[in-house]
Amino acid sequence: MSESAANAISDVGALLRPASIAVVGASANPDSPGHDYVRCLVEFGFSGPVYPVHRRESEILGLTAYADLDAIPGDIEFVISCIPSGGVLELLDSCARKGVRTVQLFTGRFSETGREEDAELEREVLRRAQAANLRLLGPNCMGLHDPGWGISFRPDLPRRTGPVGFLSQSGNNTTEVLIHSDVRGIGYRAAVSYGNALDLDAADLLTFMAGDGETRAIGAYIEGVRAGRRFLDALGGAARSKPVIVFKGGRTGAGARSAVSHTSALAGSNEVWQGALRQTGAIEVHSQDELIDLFVAFTLLGEAPSGDRVGAVGGGGGRAVQAADACTEEGLEVPPLSEDIRSQIRERAPDLWDWIGNPVDQSILAGSGAGVSGAAVLEMMAESPDFDLLIANVGEDWVLGRPDSGRRLMHIVERFAEIGVRCRKPVAYVIGPADSPDEARWRAVEGARTLLIDAGLAVFPTVERAAWALGRYVRWHRSHA
């Protein structure tokens, strides 16, 4: 790595982990972003000084408030702006006087409105910031979510830390991805909503996350980039070292038109993007669900798989067929049970050993009264040299129709979890979404899933989504071996 590249990395990293923060446009009104930003710093436990700035208030959320930046006694590294766009130029001047390093502009209504005066103001903001050596995040962004550093933009966002880095031009998408991936056990090193990308852009954030030792997988929701070559270099550099998952917005004419009024992004030709993603080895996804499924695969399945041979257990015969079809169509192998496993089953279940295949149809075992369970076969597969990846279908819909179902479900999940925690092979667990209006059902499924999540295991809502993610996980590791 060149010296300047190394400097760039540590610079962006330092910018995003400031020692002191002022919130300009802080508010006592709990229904305002100026309140949320201050409250997050308090509730997420930011360890440095926090300075709310408000013209009249003397205290906000128990913190001393200041009339302006100049009135603040200490140094300020990072400023969050929630004031209207008309006040931003003046704010930048006072930031320059205080030696601020970075300004995060929640403030919007710049070029994204499509009006020339707003676009001109945005250009002037950039000129003023560059002249004063200030870096900008945004404008028109929610900004940083870094629970490990005590920063977020909404008090209800998950506190979970972890190895994922996420950059997104959309604040709402960032929120949605954070909330729905938390349910799957995904924690964040940093999530950065960066809006119009006037200064700090996708290239800067990708380079920072690529160089960050604690980030193991990177996701990006991108609507457009200005400096194409710089972006491609950054994307290529990042994708060489870790999985980079790109959700490109504005792939179509109508999507590109929407992107302009969202972040003033020029979406660019979809063909060019496709080529760039292929060339750099980034993985493209087309929905938040796919993005989250790959965060799960690349951070919770463990190290590189030894191959592509899948062993699957659990669920009924239909699920076994579905698992086999889905895995095969995703380019994985679903071999028959090996002789070694067949002879182990024969000893314990002489009545049905010859009927059981891979995937294992749980209903054959359930009906037998024989001494072999789905978990027992999963364990055989975990220990066998003939399988590289495992799928454990919890099959909760069957269990929940039986008496004493809650206890039975937890027993199955505990046994499955033990095997996954001990095993060095990637294991994908399948348990459906707990989205039932029936409280007992919600509690049972949520409890079982939480047990798996808390054990650090990779959980998918359907076997097709598990197979889809396993396929991409195997191919990525094959091309990065």
| Residues 122 to 161 in contact with its own copies, rule: CB under 8 A | 154-157
- 221: its two tokens: 């929701």
Give least dist CB 269 to its own copies, A: 14
Residue nearer to its own copies on the CB measure, 74 or 318: 318
CA torsion angle 209 213 217 218 (round to 10) = 0
Instruction: Please select the residue that binds its own copies; options are 74, 87, 317, 385, rule is CB under 8 A.
Output: 317
Whose tokens are 């509730």? That residue is 43
Our finding on whether 233 is near its own copies (CB under 8 A) is no
**Interface region with its own copies, contact rule CB under 8 A, candidates 12-20, 209-217, 299-307, 399-407:** 399-407
Sign of CA dihedral 462, 468, 473, 474: positive
Q: Which of residues 183-212 bind its own copies (CB under 8 A)?
A: 183
Give least dist CB 130 to its own copies, A: 26
Instruction: Please select the residue that binds its own copies; options are 75, 176, 383, 414, rule is CB under 8 A.
Output: 176
- Within 199-286, strands assigned E span 217-222, 244-248, 283-285
Sign of CA dihedral 13, 14, 19, 20: negative
Residue nearer to its own copies on the CB measure, 210 or 324: 324
Give the three-class secondary structure for 336. coil
Our finding on whether 175 is near its own copies (CB under 8 A) is yes
Sign of CA dihedral 224, 229, 231, 237: positive
Residue nearer to its own copies on the CB measure, 94 or 181: 181
Instruction: Please select the residue that binds its own copies; options are 286, 348, 422, 478, rule is CB under 8 A.
Output: 286
Give least dist CB 444 to its own copies, A: 11
| C-alpha–C-alpha distance, residues 140 and 162, integer Å | 26
CA torsion angle 400 404 406 412 (round to 10) = -80
Q: Which of residues 25-84 bind its own copies (CB under 8 A)?
A: 30-31, 36
Our finding on whether 269 is near its own copies (CB under 8 A) is no
Our finding on whether 213 is near its own copies (CB under 8 A) is no
Our finding on whether 406 is near its own copies (CB under 8 A) is no
Instruction: Please select the residue that binds its own copies; options are 253, 275, 350, 371, rule is CB under 8 A.
Output: 253
Residue nearer to its own copies on the CB measure, 333 or 414: 333
Q: Which of residues 320-349 bind its own copies (CB under 8 A)?
A: 320-329, 333-336
- 193: its two tokens: 């909503």
Our finding on whether 169 is near its own copies (CB under 8 A) is yes
- 212: its two tokens: 């960050």
Residue nearer to its own copies on the CB measure, 95 or 276: 276
> For the CA atoms of the chain, what is the radius of gyration?
26
Instruction: Please select the residue that binds its own copies; options are 123, 278, 348, 402, rule is CB under 8 A.
Output: 402
Give the three-class secondary structure for 58. coil
Contact, 135 vs 103, CB < 8 A? yes
Instruction: Please select the residue that binds its own copies; options are 5, 67, 179, 421, rule is CB under 8 A.
Output: 179
Instruction: Please select the residue that binds its own copies; options are 188, 208, 221, 353, rule is CB under 8 A.
Output: 221
**Interface region with its own copies, contact rule CB under 8 A, candidates 20-28, 207-215, 230-238, 283-291:** 283-291
**Interface region with its own copies, contact rule CB under 8 A, candidates 12-20, 274-282, 359-367, 416-424:** 359-367
Give least dist CB 287 to its own copies, A: 4
Q: Please name which of 327, 315, 274 lies closest in space to residue 471, comparing C-alpha atoms.
A: 327
Contact, 479 vs 281, CB < 8 A? yes
In this structure, the number of other CB atoms found within 10 A of the CB of residue 478 comes to 13
Sign of CA dihedral 311, 315, 317, 319: negative
Q: Which of residues 85-114 bind its own copies (CB under 8 A)?
A: 108-109, 112-114
Burial of residue 357 (number of CB atoms within 10 Å: 0-12, 13-18, 19+): middle
- 260: its two tokens: 């302009």
Give least dist CB 357 to its own copies, A: 5
Q: What angle (nearest 5°) sits at the alpha carbon of residue 361, between those of residues 358 and 365?
A: 115
Instruction: Please select the residue that binds its own copies; options are 20, 306, 384, 450, rule is CB under 8 A.
Output: 450
